[in-house]
Amino acid sequence: MNSILIAGAGIGGLSAALALAQAGFKVTMCEQALQLGEVGAGLQISPNALKVLQKLGVDEGLSQHAFVPQYATMRNFKTGEYYLKMPLAKSAVARYGASYWHLHRADLHRVLSDACEEIGVELMLNATVSEYRQAVDQVSLVLQDGRELTADLLVGADGIRSIIREQMLGKEKPTFMGQVAWRGVIPVSDLRGISIKPDACVWVGPNRHFVSYYLRGGEYVNFVAVEERSDWQSESWREEGDVQELRRAFADWHPEVSELLQSASSTFLWALNGRDELPSWHQDRVVLLGDACHPMLPFMAQGAAMAIEDAYVLAQSLVKLPLAEALDHYEKMRKPRATSVQKMSKDNAALYHMQGGILGKMKLNAIRMASQYMPSIIQSKLDPVYAHDVTL
């Protein structure tokens, strides 16, 4: 096997293209956009994902764009009281063997795409996927403009609304999770009379939560504001949001939140969607990756990380095993982990939104006590995620 087609040039697709090209495969990527780029927003790269990026050789290029948070924190929406304050920075390196970074999605996207170009990955823009056709010894990808490409393997990295997944497993809309996310980036130079702590901070409150952290060495503050909604009607996966509506939703929150939003000039609004565990991630010469097979709610900040891990494991499986065995091995290695992290993310929604009545309050207080007096307990809960190393 030599040639591989990838549908989708997001973080997962680019990571897969780079890993596969470095392993010696001839890689062609099809991207429906007219130009390569990513919506401006931040993402968190935990040690498990950074180890892959180090192995792919892009960490040095990314380091100049990274911000290293000092702590992972969870705070009360009104009082600012800390439920959790777990050290990151040098502590993350000591415990997990890699740092914890905040990156602008566009920076990660650009560094990965540059690395793909340098190694000879062919990128086709304005290439919208229509369908695929399988034969015994090859797979063909048909584009909407009639072009047809042929390879030994097709990787569907085309997101939660994957055309590849739909053909493989049947048409099924993603499930709206009853929550929407407002996202935005604010230049620090625009902030007035407010100081944001250099942490990965989750503010927890009734039926909503707010995340803030720095990007690009501290030049920008990224925010994600999640609100429970049952009235979402838009078919768009993202749209321009109303900043005034966002400010009203968080108006009575701690000043670090409400005053931060006073400096926001724009925001995008996402519907948070999910899917049940898929029966299979591959079929003959077609395989799925990232959000196409395991979309993540953002409550563990692991969406990009899981796709990056997928990419590396898929490439290594294809190097070491015949095709059918490689795809079986990839799914066997990745599906339980991705499903577990999906569940952790979903469970955190109730915690962040102060649900569960007395039991919910007891859980938050237990986290606060453990954070103060038994931090090893908190760290041990995160170890299965952050200490995982697919490069070994």
DSSP 326-387: HHHHHHHHHHHHHHHHHHHHHHHHHHHTT-SHHHHHHHHHHHHHHHHH-HHHHHHHHHHHHS
DSSP 280-320: -SEETTEEE-GGGT----TTSS-HHHHHHHHHHHHHHHHHH
Ramachandran region of residue 193, left (φ > 0), alpha (ψ -120 to 50) or beta?
A: left
Report which of 60, 48, 52, 62 is spatially closest to residue 96, judged by C-alpha positions: 48
Is residue 185 within 8 Å of residue 39, measured between CB atoms?
A: no
Ramachandran region of residue 105, left (φ > 0), alpha (ψ -120 to 50) or beta?
A: alpha
CA distance 203 to 225: 9
CA distance 271 to 237: 6
Q: What is the largest CA-CA distance in the chain?
A: 65
Q: In what order do the strands lie in the sheet with 175-187?
A: 82-87, 71-76, 200-205, 208-215, 220-228, 175-187, 268-274, 238-240
Q: Is 13 exposed, middle or buried (0-12, 13-18, 19+ CB in 10 A)?
A: buried
Q: Is 213 considered catalytic here? A: yes
* Catalytic hit among 71, 96, 100, 213: 213
The continuous run of DSSP H or E covering 122 comes out as strand 122-124
**Token pair of 292 as six digits:** 């196409």
Q: Which residues are catalytic?
A: 213
